[in-house]
Amino acid sequence: MTVLAIEAGNTRIKAGLFEVDAAGHPHLLGQTVAWPHGSPLARDTLTQLARGTQISEVLVSGSRPSAVEGLTSLLKSRGLFRPPLPRLTVVSRYDQVAVPLGISFPETVGLDRLLAARAALVNRPVGEGRIIISAGTATTVDLIDREGRFAGGAILPGVDLGGQALHTQTELLPLMTAQLIDPDVEVLGRHTRAAIASGLLWGQVGAVREIASRLARDHSVPGPWLLTGGAAPWLAPGLASLVTPRPDLTLFGLALTSP
């Protein structure tokens, strides 16, 4: 069975085609695609992705309800898929993700965090925990405990969000984004832009390393940690052997919700 998984993050929308085998395990077909919110190319991108493939189900989820609603309307429009039309499922509740929970107020937890946890549970050795670092608009560092439950974690501003805050809350500091930062930027910034780049990147790497290290120590979780999210390529060099990159972790988790 072929499913199309679409996840609407805070900054961009990401989609991928998966073949789900008889055991319910998804396998990515080709490459995932991504586009910014409000892009006029959304329809063309989805049409191109689905071309030549008979899709059985489309799964939509995300942390921006307005974007999920817009995607749902787009997916219901005529001409996007060839008949027979696929089943459309919107994953909008935590109990649709089928992740054991060890947290308070599960209805307030971002679905992207739970979907990443769902994917991280696949092939997890019994009695072994996992740490998931998702670097996006916000950066989250989450724990799957040794019983296999999503146990919570920490949330901090991502690289781009930190850059926006410095720019908008001051009069003179320029805007810096991850796209403008070399992942190997020197810690010693010899001019303002370089100093901001250093602070944003190495501050993020240091915060993530400290939080993940404490979680790993306090809950006896072995490494390496799983690293995903749009800003993951900028954090990966600084975290080096501490992490295993899993760029499509959330989409895999979404594909796993297919019945």
Cα–Cα nearest to 26, from 59, 74, 75, 63:
59
Surface-to-core class of residue 196, CB atoms within 10 Å of its CB (0-12 exposed, 13-18 middle, 19+ buried): buried
Please state whether beta strands 57-62 and 12-20 pair in parallel, antiparallel, or not at all (unpaired): unpaired
Whether 44 sits among the annotated catalytic residues: the reply is: no
**230's tokens:** 């749009």
Residue corresponding to tokens 């309800």: 65
Q: Which of 95, 112, 142, 248 is catalytic?
A: 112
User: Are the C-beta atoms of residues 2 and 51 closer than 8 Å to each other?
Assistant: no
In angstroms, the CA 61 to CA 224 distance is 28
Q: Looking at the annotation, which residues are catalytic? A: 112
